[in-house]
Structure 1
Amino acid sequence: MKVVYMMGYDVWGGDLTPKEYVTMCNDSSKYKRGKWYVIEETDTKELLSSLIVYELNPSENLIVRGIGSIATPLHLRHNGYASILIKEVINELEKNDNCNNYFLFSDINTDFYKKLNFIELQPSKQKYKDSICMYYSKENDIDSINYEIPNYF
């Protein structure tokens, strides 16, 4: 997990040393609640990108997941690995869990997620200044469901 955690160190590590950051991640109850997914290079087994998926409390009998901590090692960014991983995880969750409602919080330019068909929630529904809540579903328009926007996960 150290390799997975360190993918996001440059963005989320703040003033922590790498060792302190990995310890914080290892101790995180939030990280223990989710399920991690990674994409790796077939031959070398090098980890190329990672993310975590959280089960969110359903409403209206909806199956809802939160996607978070999407990261790629700095030297591998802009190669499409995170996009591939997001698409594959959504495909797997749709197939295996019948899930078709996803939220994420973008700490980067939202255009990245818009290319994957996520939409920004309207400004009145946003809960945070620096992280934009986004939604994706092949079946439901965000305005057609009655679901409380999740807190940052």
Structure 2
Amino acid sequence: MKLNKPRPLTPLYRDNLILSPAEENDMPLVFLMGQDAWGAEYQTAEYLDICYQSEKYRSGIWLVLRNTNGTPISSAISYAIPGHNNSSWIGIGSLVTELNYRKKGYGLSCLSMLIEGYEKQQTTKGFMLFQDVQTKIYSSAGFITAASMGYKELPPNLLLRTHENNHHETDLILKKTPSYF
């Protein structure tokens, strides 16, 4: 399954938070937010080089959650996954929160605002992600395992969020087992 860049979202505002596409100057901080999870064994410069060279990271759109001071506090990457009859699904990856802001609900805010943005601004049939870390964030945002929806042959960490009346579209998109993103 090929991952593509979705159309960018316009900024979303909630409480004192703003979710918007990342700018080029945001990327070092965005990448470093996740170094402890995905690159702790690398020196900072080496880890940043790996991130900048990543085809996976270049294939999506990074979104950054900022507070009223403009400080980036959480981020995620989104991908367009082509569906049936020109529909699209959104793949979500690399959801992470800056170390000093963790355990305060910002990851869930970032994820829920991202979902809201794609549902309101684009024709999105559903969302999928792979759960790396055990957390309640994903279930709080309406994700359930693919296995619990009857897709037992798919990876156990594949989570989906779709409308109940969208079962046919889900069947079609999952015919090609999505690769990890």
Secondary structure of the residue aligned to 2:180 is coil
Cα 1:6–1:142 shift into 2, 3 Å = farther
The residue type paired with residue 118 of structure 2 is: L
- Note the C-alpha offset of 1:80: 0.8
Query: Is 1:35 matched up with 2:68?
Result: no
Structure 2's unaligned 5+ residue stretches are: 1-26
Q: Partner residue of 2:110?
A: 85
Q: Partner residue of 1:150?
A: 178
Query: Is 1:124 matched up with 2:152?
Result: yes
Q: Deviations over 1:64-100 (max 9, x none)?
A: 1100000111221111111111111111111111113
- Note the C-alpha offset of 1:62: 3.4
Q: Deviations over 1:83-135 (max 9, x none)?
A: 1111111111111111130000110115321111100111723337xxx1100
Percent of matched pairs sharing the same residue:
31
Q: Partner residue of 2:99?
A: 74
Tell me which moved more, 66-75 or 141-150.
Answer: 141-150
Q: Partner residue of 1:55?
A: 80
Could you list the structure 1 runs, at least 4 aligned residues long, displaced by more than 6 angstroms after superposition.
none
Secondary structure of the residue aligned to 1:124 is coil
Q: Partner residue of 1:9?
A: 35
Structure-2 separation of matches of 1:57 and 1:141: 15
TM-score by length of 1: 0.88
Q: Choose from 102, 113, 120 the match for 2:127.
A: 102
Tell me which moved more, 46-55 or 135-144.
Answer: 135-144
Query: Is 1:20 matched up with 2:46?
Result: yes
- Note the C-alpha offset of 1:61: 4.6
Structure 1's unaligned 5+ residue stretches are: none
TM-score by length of 2: 0.75
Cα 1:120–1:142 shift into 2, 3 Å = farther
Aligned length: 149
Tell me which moved more, 59-68 or 84-93.
Answer: 59-68
Structure-2 separation of matches of 1:76 and 1:110: 16
Q: Partner residue of 2:137?
A: 112
Cα 1:144–1:63 shift into 2, 3 Å = closer
Cα 1:33–1:144 shift into 2, 3 Å = closer
Secondary structure of the residue aligned to 2:124 is coil
